[in-house]
Structure 1
Amino acid sequence: MDSKMESEFEKSKSGDKDERYEAYQNILNVTNQKVDWAYEIWDQLLEDLSHKDNHQRSRAAQYLANLAKSDPEMRIIKDFPKLWEVTYDEKFVTARHSLQSIWKVGISGTPQKEMVMEYMVERFKNGTDKKNFTLIRNDILHNMKNLYNYFNDETIKQTALDLIDTVDDKKYRKKYMDIWK
């Protein structure tokens, strides 16, 4: 990793709010493509998933999701449960930002896609006892739509439609179907 990226990671943890946000945006932009330095920061990001600061947890989850495409050793398979745990964070905004980026893990390969889909399907089916479950379901379906758009895999679409069919509330079923129009 070059000194500019090292500096961006440092700025994303410290400095003023504007500086942190700019560094965060820069890191996400760079990691939208494959990078050759993912493992230089990987362990620190895993550690930051349980950081006392919820902003650090959120950023670490989003960075790891982006870096999954730069993971030829497929470490994300083993580390995914730690990343997924942040989608249940006590701070709802942290949980939600983490969940909304989770689909990016799925685009890094077939095993990763299958793993992400499995976790999301389970959460969609069994998460109705949690607060804000309708928003979580909405995010899951958007994630599936993103994966579908990336892979053009009809099984992803069918899985999403099958899940939507299980929703009893007509208002939410319609809202979820709108994602797939």
Structure 2
Amino acid sequence: MDSQMKLEFEKSKLGDKDERYEAYHNILKATDQVVDWAYDVWNQLIEDLTHKDPHQRSRAAQYLANLAKSDPEMRILKDLPKLWEVTKDEKFVTARHSLQSIWKVGIAGSPQKEMVMTFMVDRFKNGTDEKNYTLIRNDILQNMRYLYEHFNDEQIKQTAMDLIDTVDDKKYNKKYKDIWK
């Protein structure tokens, strides 16, 4: 990892509000591509998933999701349950930002995609007791849409449609179907 990227991670944690925001975007932009330094920050990010600051938890989750494509050792398969926990964070905005980025783990490869899909299907089916579950379901279906667009895998679309068909509320059934138009 070069010194500039180290500085971005430092600013992401310790900078003022504007510096943290700029560093956050710079890190996400850098990790949109495969990088060779993922393991330089991996363990710290795993640790930060349980940081006392919800912003740190959210950023760590989003960075890890982006870094999954730079993970030839497939550590994410072992660490995904820890990352998934942040999608259920007590701070809803932290949970939602984490959930909205989880699909990026799935584009790292077939085992990652299968694991992410399993987690999302289970949450869709069994998460109706959660606060804001209709938004969570919306995010899950949007994640599936992104995975479908990436892989062009009809099974992903069929899974989403099957889940939508279980929704009795006409308003949400229509809203969820609109994601797939």
Task: State the 1:16 CA deviation.
Answer: 1.2
| Alignment RMSD | 0.3
1:114 is matched by which residue type in structure 2?
Answer: E
1:50 is matched by which residue type in structure 2?
Answer: T
**1 CA distance for matches of 2:15 and 2:23?**
10
1:53 and 2:66 correspond? no
Output the TM-score relative to the length of structure 2.
Answer: 1.00
Task: State the 1:15 CA deviation.
Answer: 1.6
For structure 1, the 5+ residue unaligned runs are: none
Helix, strand or coil for the counterpart of 1:111?
helix
1:134 and 2:134 correspond? yes
**1 CA distance for matches of 2:126 and 2:77?**
22
1:106-131 alpha-carbon deviations (Å, 9 max, x no partner): 00000000000000000000000010
1:18 is matched by which residue type in structure 2?
Answer: D
Alignment partner, residue 172 of structure 2: 172
Alignment partner, residue 28 of structure 2: 28
For structure 2, the 5+ residue unaligned runs are: none
After the TM superposition, list the runs of 4 or more consecutive aligned residues in structure 1 that deviate by more than 3 angstroms: none
Task: State the 1:48 CA deviation.
Answer: 0.1
Alignment partner, residue 89 of structure 1: 89
**2 CA distance for matches of 1:59 and 1:154?**
31
- Indicate the percent of aligned positions where both proteins have the same amino acid: 81
Alignment partner, residue 19 of structure 1: 19
1:128 is matched by which residue type in structure 2?
Answer: T
Q: How many residues matched?
A: 181
